[in-house]
Amino acid sequence: MVSPDGATAVLENGLLRATLRRDAGWGITSLVDTRSGAEVVGPGAVANALVPYADQGGLYRFGSEMKGCEFAPLAGEGAGSPLTVLEQGPLRVRVAAQTIAGGQTFRKEYALVAGEPFLRMLSTGSAAPGTSVMVHFPLAGAVDDLVHGTAYHWDEKRPERAGPLTFEATHDFVVPRFRGRPRAAVFHAGMPAWAVRRDGLLVGALWRNSIRGAQCDYQGAEGTDAHEVTMSYAIRVPTGVTSPRTGAQLREALGFTTSLLAVGAQPAGDLPRRLSLASTQPSAAIVTAAKAGTEDPAALMLRIYQPTNAPLRVSVRTAARQLFPPGGGVVVEGRTALEEPLRETEATALRIDGDGTRFHFVARRALTTMALHGSPVR
C-alpha cells in the first residue's frame, strides 16, 4: 500500500484505485474508476488539495461575491509529513498525515471501505484571519452542469453563472456533469458551499475566518472563527452515479454521513429483536423522518420524500400492529408539514388506500407528511 520510500500510497478496493503522493501534500494524484478504467483527476493535477484564499468577504458572502473585494488563492501545500497507517484490515484501510499551507498546519485522513465506490476524507484545521481554506478537486474534463442536493430536494445549475467561482448552497451531494454524464460525485457533511469551473475544477469551502469591520461593499453580520474543526467528505467515482430523480445519490450520501454500526450485545427487555417502523417502495421514495406527533404524541408521523418531479405512487409498510393497541384499527391520513389536517381536495388527491400495516398513496410533491393513529378498540 505505502511505497518503500514512503513517497506514495495506493488505496484500492476493486471499485476505485487512489494514488496519494507525499510531495503533493498527500493529495490525490490519480483516482481510477476501475470498472470503466476512467481517470477522475485531471492530468498532472492534485485532488483534495488544501488551498488558502485571501478573502475579504463577510459571514454570508465570499470576497468574489462583493464588488471591489478580494478572493484570491495563496500558496498551496508543500510536502507532507510521513504517512501513518491507522488501520489496515480486510474491511477498511485508514491513513493520515500532516501538511502545511499558508503557514497553517492541517491533518488529512483517508479511509477506504470494502465495497464502497467512494474515498472518505477527513481534513482538520482552521483558517488564518482574513482567509478561507478551500479544497480543490480538478476533474479530468470540462463541466457544463452541476447537480446538487438542497435542504429537501435537488437542483441543477450552470457553472460560472456569476463569475469563475459561483458558489452554490448544497446539501448531501454534488455531481459535476458534462453533457449529462457525471465526472464524479462528492458527498459531504456540513460543507454547504461548492463551486465548479467550466474547466472542471470543483472547489469546496472547508474553513472561513472573516475580518471584522467593513470591507469593500461589505454587508451583514461580523464574526471570526479561528477554531480548529474536522470536516468530513468523500469523492465518488462516476460508474453508478444516476440522475437525482432516482434518489440513489441522496441514499448514498446519507449512507456516507450516517454509516451503519454494529454493536455486540445480549438482548433483554420487552422490545422485539427486530422492528422496522416503516419502509417504502419504489426505492426512489425515502422515509426521512419517523416521529411521535407534536400535537398528538400517540400518532406516528412519517415524512416521505420522493425526488422524481412527477406524481409517484408509493407503497408503505409499517409496524402498526406493534405500535397501537390490539383490537382497534389504524387510521392513515395526510397532513401538512405542520402536522395539521389537509384540506379535503388535497387529502383526496393523495388517493390513500390500504390499512395501517400496508397502505398506498400518490406523492405529488417532493415531501408528503402522513399520520398514523389508532382507532377505538371495537
Model confidence pLDDT, tens digit, residues 124-138: 999 998 899 999 999
Band of residue 218 on the pLDDT scale cut at 50, 70, 90: low
CA dist 209 and 311 (Å) reads 44
Q: Which has the closest alpha carbon to 95: 38, 18, 184?
A: 18
Record the cell numbers describing residue 152, joined without a space.
Answer: 429537501
Q: Is the pLDDT of residue 79 over 80?
A: yes
Q: Which has the closest alpha carbon to 92: 261, 247, 241, 341?
A: 261
Band of residue 275 on the pLDDT scale cut at 50, 70, 90: confident
- Residue 303 · residue 288 · CB < 8 Å: yes
- State how far the alpha carbon of 123 is from the alpha carbons of 119, 152, 293, in Å: 13, 26, 39
CA dist 16 and 354 (Å) reads 45
DSSP symbol at 244: G
Per-residue confidence (pLDDT) for residue 267, from 0 to 100: 77
- Residue 359 · residue 352 · CB < 8 Å: yes
pTM, to two decimals: 0.92
Cα end-to-end span (Å), the chain:
67
Q: What is the mean pLDDT of residues 189-212?
A: 92
Q: What is the mean pLDDT of residues 202-228?
A: 78
Arithmetic mean of pLDDT over the chain = 92
Question: Among 2.60.200, 2.60.120, 1.20.120, 2.60.40, what is the CATH number of 278-377?
Answer: 2.60.40
Q: Is the pLDDT of residue 214 over 60?
A: no
Kindly report the backbone phi and psi dihedral angles of residue 296, in degrees, each rounded to the nearest multiple of 5, phi listed first.
-125, 90
Q: Is the pLDDT of residue 273 over 80?
A: no
Quote the CATH superfamily of domain 8-257: Golgi alpha-mannosidase II; domain 4 (2.70.98.30)
DSSP symbol at 150: -
CA dist 117 and 75 (Å) reads 32
Residue type, 24: A
Per-residue confidence (pLDDT) for residue 166, from 0 to 100: 94
Per-residue confidence (pLDDT) for residue 215, from 0 to 100: 61
Domain extent listing, the chain: 8-257, 278-377
Instruction: Give the rounded percent of residues in the chain with a pLDDT score beyond 90.
Output: 73
- Residue 119 · residue 93 · CB < 8 Å: no
